[in-house]
Amino acid sequence: MSQRVLVLPGDHIGPEVVEQARRVLEKVAQDFRLALELDEGLIGGAALEASGVPLPDQTLEQARQADAILLGAVGGPEWDGVERELRPERGLLKIRSELALFGNLRPAILYPQLADASSLRAEVVAGLDILIVRELTGGIYFGEPRGIRTLENGEREGYNTYVYSESEIERIGRLAFESARKRNGRLCSVDKSNVLEVTVLWREVMERLAADYPDVELSHMYVDNAAMQLVRAPKQFDVVVTGNMFGDILSDAAAMLTGSIGMLPSASLDVNSRGMYEPCHGSAPDISGQDVANPLATILSVAMMLRYSLAAPAAADAIELAVSRVLDRGLRTPDICTDKDEKVGTRAMGDAVMEALATRELEESA
C-alpha cells in the first residue's frame, strides 16, 4: 500500500525550496522503490488569499489523511495588517495542534565543510551533531490558568501555569529515548528540578523510563548549565530532551551554533510517528523570487521524513550523503558562501543534489 505525503509550499521562499525538495523526494522514491502518493495543498498567506483562512478545512482534511507532511514556510509583510486569528502563522499553529504533533525534533548539525559559518571557533563546532527533542504541545505555553489580572490594590499581574502530566512527560521521554537509540545512545534530559516541581516530576519520569532503555545512557542537566555548555562545548551532547519553553530557547541557540539557518531541518511528530517536516527558517520575504534561497534545510527535512515517518532510512542516508557531497564540491548558496566557494542559486543547488544522488546510483550499480 502506498504512503501519502502532503506537500504544503506556503509563502515566499516556501514554494522555491519545496520545489527542490519535492524533486529529491520523487527521485529517491523511484530509486528506492518507495510507493508514495504526493498531494499538494494550501496554507498560510497563499491559503488566506485563495479561501479567506490560513488553514482551510480541505488542507486539514488532506493533512489528516497523510502519513507525512512537507511544509515550506508561511508569512510575509503583506499580511502584517490582517487580524491575529487570520495571520498566516496561525495556520501553522493550528495544523500542529489539530494533528497533536507533540514531539519536535530539531537537529543542529554543522557539516565540517561549513565550520567557518559558525560564530564559535571552528574546532569547537566542526562536526557538531546534536538532536534536540522538544515537547511542543504542553508546558507553560499552554498551561491554564493564564492571563493578566488586576489585583485589589489596583496593580496588574501577569501569570502563566507551568504544568506537565506524567503521561505527557512519558510520551516525549519515549520519543527521546527511541531517538537516542537510533543515534549514539546518549540522552541528556534538561530541567530545573532545583526550583520547579514540574521538572522534579519530569526527572522522576525520565529516570523510570531509563529502565526500559538500558542501551541508552541517561544524564540530567539544569537548563542554565545546559545553555552554558551548549556554547562552551556543544559536541558533548548527542540527544537533548526538554520541555516546551526550555526547548524553544535551547534549540534556537543550538541552531545558531551552526551559523546557517538555511541548513537546518525539523520534524514534529504525533504518537504514531506521523509527522510534519519543515525547515527551521521562515519565508524570508527579503530574498524571495530571486533564486537565492538555500533549499538544503528543506531537502534535509525530506531525509528526516523518510527516516521518522516513512520507514526508509536508506533513502534518508542517501539524501544526507548527497548534500554532503555537494558541499564537498564547494557549491554554496549565498547564505553559506565564502570567497573560496562557488556561488549557486536555489535551482542549481537542487540540480547538484539530484546529480549527487544519480552518482551514488551509478557507483552502487558499478
> What is the maximum span of the chain, computed from C-alpha positions, in angstroms?
81
Residue 265 within binding range of ligand NAD, rule CB under 6 A: no
SS3 letters across the chain: CCEEEEEEEECCHHHHHHHHHHHHHHHHHHHCCCCEEEEECCCCHHHHHHHCCCCCHHHHHHHHHCCEEEEEECCCHHHCCCCHHHCHHHHHHHHHHHCCCCEEEEEEECCHHHHHHCCCCHHHHCCCEEEEEEECCCHHHCCCCCEEEECCCCCEEEECCCCCCHHHHHHHHHHHHHHHHHCCCEEEEEECCCCCHHHHHHHHHHHHHHCCCCCCEEEEEEHHHHHHHHHHCHHHCCEEEECHHHHHHHHHHHHHHCCCHHHCEEEEECCCCCEEEEECCCCCHHHCCCCCCCCHHHHHHHHHHHHHCCCCHHHHHHHHHHHHHHHHCCEECHHHCCCCCEECCHHHHHHHHHHHHHHHHHHHHC
Angle at 123 between CA 344 and CA 134, to 5 degrees: 75
Instruction: List all residues 6 or more positions away from 333 whose beta carbon is below 8 Å from its beta carbon.
Output: 262, 292, 293, 294, 295, 296, 343, 344, 345, 346, 349
Residue 74 within binding range of ligand NAD, rule CB under 6 A: yes
Which range of residues in 148-156, 201-209, 241-249, 282-290 is near ligand NAD by CB under 6 A?
282-290
User: Which of 31, 94, 129, 141 is the catalytic position?
Assistant: 141
Q: Is 215 a catalytic residue?
A: no
Inter-residue contact 5 to 302 (CB < 8 Å): no
Residue 350 within binding range of ligand NAD, rule CB under 6 A: no
How far CA 4 is from CA of 86, 104, 278, in Å, comes to 28, 21, 16
Which range of residues in 60-68, 163-171, 228-236, 291-299 is near ligand NAD by CB under 6 A?
291-299
Which range of residues in 165-173, 287-295, 301-309, 321-329 is near ligand NAD by CB under 6 A?
287-295
Residue 76 within binding range of ligand NAD, rule CB under 6 A: yes
Which range of residues in 68-76, 102-110, 139-147, 350-358 is near ligand NAD by CB under 6 A?
68-76
Q: Is 351 a catalytic residue?
A: no
Per CB under 6 A, the list member of 22, 192, 281, 325 interacting with ligand NAD is 281
User: Which of 39, 252, 270, 317 is the catalytic position?
Assistant: 252
Amino acid identity at 345: G
Least spacing, CB of residue 87 vs ligand NAD, in Å: 8
Least spacing, CB of residue 334 vs ligand NAD, in Å: 7
Per CB under 6 A, the list member of 107, 234, 243, 262 interacting with ligand NAD is 262
Q: Is 252 a catalytic residue?
A: yes
The number of residues that bind ligand NAD (CB under 6 A) is: 22
Residue 92 within binding range of ligand NAD, rule CB under 6 A: yes
Least spacing, CB of residue 312 vs ligand NAD, in Å: 24
Residue 354 within binding range of ligand NAD, rule CB under 6 A: no
Nearer to ligand NAD, 9 or 173 (CB): 9
Q: Is 162 a catalytic residue?
A: no
Least spacing, CB of residue 243 vs ligand NAD, in Å: 20
Least spacing, CB of residue 83 vs ligand NAD, in Å: 15
Per CB under 6 A, the list member of 287, 312, 319, 353 interacting with ligand NAD is 287
Q: Is 164 a catalytic residue?
A: no
Nearer to ligand NAD, 73 or 327 (CB): 73
How many angstroms separate the CA atoms of 292 and 273, rounded? 33
Which range of residues in 154-162, 182-190, 244-252, 275-283 is near ligand NAD by CB under 6 A?
275-283
Nearer to ligand NAD, 108 or 216 (CB): 108
Considering only residues 313 to 342 of the shown chain, the ones binding ligand NAD according to CB under 6 A are 335
Per CB under 6 A, the list member of 261, 276, 312, 353 interacting with ligand NAD is 261
Residues that bind ligand NAD (CB under 6 A): 13, 17, 73-76, 89, 92, 261-262, 278, 281-287, 293-294, 297, 335
Active site residues: 141, 192, 224, 248, 252
